[in-house]
Amino acid sequence: MQNLRIPGPTPCPPEVLAAMGRQMINHRGSEFAEIIKDVTVKMKHVFQTKNELMLLTGSGTAGLEAAVVNMLSPGDTVLGVAIGVFGERFAKIAQTFGANVIPLNFEHGKAADPALMKEALDANPQIKAVLVTHNETSTGVTNDLAAISKIVKGAGKLLLVDCISSLGSLNVPVDELGIDVAISGSQKGWMVPPGMAMISVSETGWQAYAQAKMPRFYWDLGKAKAGLEKGQTPWTPNVSVVFAFQVALEMMLKEGINNIFTRHARIGKFTREGVKSLGLTLLADEKFASNTVTSVVADRGLDAKKLNKIMKEEFDIVLAGGQGPLEGKIFRIGHLGMVNEKDIQAVFDGLKVALPKAGFVK
């Protein structure tokens, strides 16, 4: 089997793939209602939330758009915290729909500095909401959500968090952190194929929803909430991914969420240690290095694109490249969802052979 080591889509367990192959049923019938209710309850457990949690048929980016258009009005001022491509995307969506975005960008590889966020909030009291990425997939950096939440909620602002590549893998206690809108995506730590975004909304979030004036129809979370009360979705959902979620969540709860978090932390460390022992340099500030994806600098003559090509062709190991300004400058190893040390050891074994072929001089 191919060793798919990109930060999503992630490899799916055979049981989940079998669920993907289930025959269609009526998405407005009682059987599907039971499934969607079961999935929602179990997913709330992983989100560690009592908030409403809704499934949207779309990608992770769709979840970001849904967060924006359901919480904000044109002209609202928001703080757009970005430590990479996905933070910039979140801010760009808000801007596209008419928000006045105050950008707060950090160097790629660094985490957001909560002190600078506090300064920005103090300097701009008109800020209504803060948009921030928990785990920045493009740089492999995890922000300190506890510190961020303390500042944002302390200032009484709405906190919208892109948890797409963290929820289900890293510890994100949504209620404890006071996250008003938390977004994830099926193809990450959940071990399910892409096609659904999941989004939780706090009571404060629903109050913002009631005031928000950005145009929304397909992503209208009020409609999603009303649908869910009948065990339905307002529009035909991605039935197969809901089937897959039911199986994957059962597996996740069996492993136990704390065990999942521990496993990801252990494998994250294992990956970073192994990468460094090969003489490679981590892009991420190690204090904030992500336990779901590791970004590696293409230095000492390394041609990152050539490396990924060799890894694919010679070892059937698929690594990710850099995105945006980091294209060609880094390569990335995904280690979220269904992953163990053996999968990562295979990457190291391949890298040992491939690195010199791709120009790397230790």
Chain residues in the site for a copy of itself (CB under 8 A): 1-2, 4, 6, 8-12, 17-18, 20-29, 57-62, 65, 92-93, 96-98, 185, 187, 193-195, 214-218, 234-241, 312, 318, 320
Q: What is the side-by-side order of every strand in the sheet holding 127-133?
A: 52-57, 196-201, 181-185, 158-162, 127-133, 77-82, 100-105
Q: At its nearest, how many Å lie between a copy of itself and the CB of residue 42?
A: 21
What percent of the chain is helix, strand and coil (3-state, nearest 5)? Answer: 45, 20, 35
For residue 17, what are its two tokens? 């793939």
Closer of 6 and 182 to a copy of itself (Cβ): 6
Q: Where are any strands of DSSP class E within the chain?
A: 3-5, 52-57, 77-82, 100-105, 127-133, 135-136, 141-142, 158-162, 181-185, 196-201, 281-282, 293-297, 317-321, 330-334
For residue 250, what are its two tokens? 């059962």
Three-state DSSP state, 307: helix
For residue 353, what are its two tokens? 């052979």
Enter the DSSP assignment of 234: S
Compute the distance between CA of residue 315 and CA of residue 354 in angstroms, rounded to an integer: 9
Closer of 114 and 337 to a copy of itself (Cβ): 337
Q: At its nearest, how many Å lie between a copy of itself and the CB of residue 226?
A: 15
Closer of 120 and 318 to a copy of itself (Cβ): 318
Residue closest to 274 by CA, chosen among 5, 1, 30: 5
Q: At its nearest, how many Å lie between a copy of itself and the CB of residue 214?
A: 8
Sort 168 into a burial class: Cβ within 10 Å, 0-12 / 13-18 / 19+: buried
Q: At its nearest, how many Å lie between a copy of itself and the CB of residue 224?
A: 12
Question: Is 272 assigned a ligand-binding role in the annotation?
Answer: no
Q: At its nearest, how many Å lie between a copy of itself and the CB of residue 194?
A: 5
Closer of 25 and 146 to a copy of itself (Cβ): 25
Closer of 216 and 263 to a copy of itself (Cβ): 216
Closer of 18 and 361 to a copy of itself (Cβ): 18
Enter the DSSP assignment of 156: T
Q: At its nearest, how many Å lie between a copy of itself and the CB of residue 236?
A: 5
Residue ranges for the known binding site are: 332
Report the binding-site residues for substrate: 332
